[in-house]
Chains A and B, each alone.
Chain A
Amino acid sequence: MLRYVLVRVLQFLLTAWIASIIVFALMQVLPGNAAQVALGTNATPEAVARLEAEYGLDRPLVVQYLDWIGGVVIGDFGRSYVTEADITPVISDSIQVTLIVVIASMALALLIAVPLGTAAAVFHNRAAGVAISGASQVGIAIPNFLAAIILVMIFSLGLGWFPSSGWRAPIEGIGEFLERLVLPVTALALVQAAILTRYVRSAVLEVMREDFLRTARAKGLTAGRALVKHGLRNAAIPVVTVAGVQLATLLIGAVVIEQVFVLPGMGSELVRAVSNRDLLTVQGIVMVLVVLVLLLNLIVDLLYSVLDPRVRRAA
C-alpha cells in the first residue's frame, strides 16, 4: 500500500515538473509581448526594448525559467510587470472563486445524478427510467455556456430572482454570495449531472446483475437494502473515475462560465493575462491548473485503493 502511494506521488511530481517546462516553453512562442502591449499604439521600438529590459525579458530563457520555477516551488509566483502587483495573491483569490464554483457544481451534479441515475437503472425498462435517460441525453447535448445564457434569460431577466452577473465573497454577506452563485453553479452542474446520471445508471445496472446482489437478496434483504448495502460501493468505482475526470473538465468549463457571469475566478484572470501578455501570471495560473488536475488524478487513484481492496493488493 505504502509503495503504491509513493509511486503515485513520485509520478505526480515528475509530471508536474515536465509540465512546468512545457508551460514555460509555450509562453515563449506566443506572438506579441508584454512591453509592446503595455506601450500600445504610441510605442517606439526603443521604448519597447527599454521596457523589456526593465521587465527582465531580455535575460536568457534558462535564467528566466529557473528564476520562475524556484519561486513557484516555495509558493511565490513572482511580481507581474503588467499590473505591478504580486501574482500569488491574485492566484489565491481567484482560485477560491473557481474552486467554490467547481466544487459546488460537482456536489450539485452528484446530488442530482446519483438518485436519478440509480432510479433510471432500477426502472430501466419502465417509462420513468426511459424518461430520465432521454433527459440526460438532452442535457449532455447542451453546452454549459448555452445553459448559462438560457438560465440568465429566465431567472435573471425574466423572473428577476437572481443577479445576471457578479461575485460577492461569503464574508461580504452570505445571502449576496449565494444568490450570485446559484446560476453559474446550476449552469455548470446541469451538464455534469446529465453525464454522471448516465454513468451512475450503467454502473448500477451492471451491479444489479452481479451474483453477490442475488445472494444478498437470497439472504432476505429487500432489493433496495441490498443495493444500498452491497451495490452502491461497487457501483461507486466507475463513477468516482468519471467524476474525477469530469472535475478537470469542470475547471475548464468554469473558464467559460466565469466570462458569462463576470466572476473573478482563474478563468477570467487567465483570459485577461493572456490578452495583456502578462506571461508570468499566465504561467502561474496554467501551472496551478495543471497541478490541480494532476492532484485530482492522484486523489482518484488513491481513492480506488480505498474503495476497492483489489487495487491495493495488486499494487
Chain B
Amino acid sequence: MGHRRVIRTLAAAAAIALTASACSAGASSTSEGEGGESRTDMVVAHTAEPVNLDFTTTAGAAIPQALMENVYESLVRIDQSGELQPALATSWEVSEDRTEYTFDLQDGVTFSNGDEFTSSDVKFSYERVKSDAWQNQLKTKMDIVESIETPDDSTVTITLTQPSNRWLFDLASLVGAVFSEDAVNDLANQAVGTGPFEVSAFTRGQEIVFDARDDYWGEAPALEEVTFKYFRDSVAATNALRSGEVDVIGNLQAPELAGELESTEFQVIEGTSNGEVVLSMNNADGVFADQKAREAVLYAIDEQTILDTAWGGYGTLIGGMVPPTDPYYEDLTGVWEHDVEKAQELVEEAGIAGEEIRFAVPNLPYATAIGDIVVSQLEEAGLSATIESQEFPAVWLDRTFTNHDYDMSVINHVEARDILTVFGEGSYTGYDHTRIDELAAQADAGTEEEYVEGMKEVARTITEDAGAGFAFLFPNLIVADPAVQGLPENWVSDAFPIATLSWS
C-alpha cells in the first residue's frame, strides 16, 4: 500500500511541475504578442560591451560604437561612403595656407540636459582633449591644434600648427565629440550630448537603452527606443535573434552561422569595416628582423584560403593597411602572390628552415581560426611556427603589444586610418618607420591630391617592405529581421548609428 502512495505523490509532483511550466509558457506567449507594424523600439545585439560610458579615459571600440553620433556629435561626420558631411557645423572654410578652419555652427542645438550648445562648448571640449583629463591616447590626433577662437556663439575658428589633410577626418572620430561644460563630472556613468538619443538606462555588461529626444535639432529618428544588448557568445546572440529577443546582430562574430540564418528568414548584410586583420611580424627583433624571412612568409600564406576557411569567405582581400572606403585605398593584393616555391627558396636563402617561430594568437574567434591555417601554410614552405594562445586583451596587450615579446601575431586593427599608428615609431610591429615618416608628413601637409598620392605610397612601401601580412579586411556582417531598414552597411567611423533605423 505504502508503495502506491509514493507513486501517487510522485504523480502529483509531476502534475504540479507540468502546470507550472504551462503557466510560464502562457506568460511568454503574451509577451511575444507585441510587435508588428506599430513597433517603435528595436533591440540590437553587439559583442564587445562598454565597461563604462567614458571614452575619454577608456580605449576600445565598444564605447564610441554606442555613443558617437547617437549621443555625442562632432562638428563633422563620415557618411557610409567615407565622405565628410556636416554635423554640428553647417559649413566650414579653410584659409589659403590651410591652417585655419572656420566653422559655422548649427542653430537651436541643445544638450540632452537642456544646456544650449554654443561655440564655447566646442572650445571647451577640444581644449579638454589636449589636457590630462583625456587618457585615451587617440587624443594625440588633436596635438596639431594650436588654438581655438570663438568670435561669436555660432562660429569657431581652429588654427593648426601646420596644414593637415588628416585632421578634419580625425575630427569626425571620438576626439571631435562635443561635451557640455557642466556635464563632464561623471562621464563614466552619465553621457550628455547633442545627439538624437540619450542614454536612459545603462546596465553594465547587459544593455544600454537609448531614448529618442523630442528636442533634437536635426531630423527626428524613426524609433523611440533602441536597446543595445551585449552577448559575448555568438551562439547566444543568434539564439536570441531566432527567438525574437533581438532584432539585429550588429556584427556577427561567427560567419559560419550567417549562411544558415540567411537561408531561413533573416537578412544578412555584408559591408566593409575599418578592421584590417594584420598578420604582424616583429620587424625589429628575432627571425623576422630579416626582410627575406618576412618575404618568405608573405609568399607562403594564401590569403584567399585563409579568408574562406577562417571566416567563411566573408571579408575583402586588401594586401595593405588601407580599407576601400579610405580615399588613398589601392589594391595591393598582387604584390605578394601566393607562391610556395619562392617561399621555400627564401627560407633557404634566409637560413630560417626549422627555426622556431613564436606565433602569439589572441583568444578571439577569428584569430584562433586564422592561426591554425597560417601554421599549416608556413609548414608547406618549410617554416615551423608554434602557437602561443594569449588572453585578449590583457595578456596580448602586455606581452605582444607592449613588450614586443613575439615573432608573429594576428590581430584585427579596428581603428579608422590607423596605418601610421601600427607602422609608426614605437609600434609593436617594429617596422622601420623612417621609411615612411617623411612621406607621410609631406602627404599630410600637401594638397588633397598630394595627400592621396603620398599616402598610397606609404601603404605601398609598407607592403613592399613586407612590413606585415594582411590577411583580409574584416567584414561588417549584420544579420537582422527582414523588416529592419536603415542599417549602417559599412562600418566607416567609430559609431554604430541608430538614428536611421526603422521598421518597414
A interface residue numbers (CB < 8 A to B): 30-33, 36-45, 47-48, 50-51, 82-85, 90, 111, 115-116, 118-119, 122-123, 149, 152, 156-157, 159-167, 175-176, 178-179, 182, 222-225, 227, 259-262, 264, 268-269, 271-272, 275-278
Contact = CB atoms under 8 A, between A and B. Distances in A.
B239 A165 contact: yes
Interface in B374-419: 391-395, 397-399, 401-402, 413, 415
Interface in B204-258: 204-206, 229-233, 235-236, 239-240, 242-243, 245
Contact of B10 (A36, A119, A259): A119
Given A119-B10, A157-B243, A272-B49, A43 B25 contact: no
Interface in B47-91: 49, 51-52, 54, 57-60
Nearest to B242: A157
Contacts of B206: 167, 262, 264
A41 B401 contact: yes
B263 interface: no
A89 to B, nearest CB: 10
A278 B245 contact: no
Nearest to B426: A44
A43 B59 contact: yes
Contacts of A225: 2
Given A85-B204, A164-B245, A47 B188 contact: no
B243 A38 contact: no
Interface stretch (B135-143, B149-157, B332-340): B135-143
Contact of B2 (A31, A51, A166, A223): A223
A83 B24 contact: no
Nearest to A149: B235
A259 B230 CA distance: 11
B135 A38 contact: yes
A165 B240 contact: yes
A84 B2 contact: no
A84 B54 contact: yes
Contacts of A272: 49, 51, 205
Interface string B10-32: 10010000000100110111011
Contact of A41 (B27, B231, B233, B415): B415
A175 B189 CA distance: 30
Contacts of A175: 24, 27, 31
Contacts of B138: 42
A149 to B, nearest CB: 8
A160 B28 contact: yes
Given A32-B394, A175-B27, A182-B21, A40 B60 contact: yes
Contact of A39 (B1, B9, B21, B137): B137
A82 B393 CA distance: 14
A122 B3 contact: yes
A41 B59 contact: yes
A119 to B, nearest CB: 6
Contacts of A224: 1-3, 5-6
28 contacts: A31-B394, A31-B395, A33-B394, A37-B393, A39-B137, A40-B59, A41-B413, A42-B415, A43-B137, A48-B402, A50-B132, A82-B58, A83-B188, A84-B186, A90-B204, A111-B13, A122-B6, A149-B235, A152-B239, A160-B243, A162-B24, A163-B28, A164-B236, A165-B240, A165-B245, A166-B229, A222-B1, A264-B206
A44 to B, nearest CB: 6
Nearest to A176: B31
A260 B236 contact: yes
A22 B137 CA distance: 35
B243 A156 contact: yes
Given A115-B10, A165-B240, 16 more contacts: A36-B394, A36-B397, A39-B137, A42-B59, A45-B402, A51-B135, A90-B204, A119-B6, A123-B3, A161-B24, A167-B206, A223-B2, A224-B2, A259-B236, A260-B236, A275-B392
A163 B394 contact: no
B282 to A, nearest CB: 16
B203 interface: yes
Given A32-B397, A165-B245, A38 B24 contact: no
B51 A83 contact: yes
Contacts of B392: 275
Contacts of B6: 115, 118-119, 122, 224
Contacts of B397: 32, 36-37, 40-41, 43
Contacts of A176: 27, 31
B263 to A, nearest CB: 16
Contacts of B240: 163-166, 262
A31 B393 contact: no
A269 B398 CA distance: 22
B421 interface: yes
Contacts of B415: 41-42
Contacts of B413: 41
A275 B57 CA distance: 17
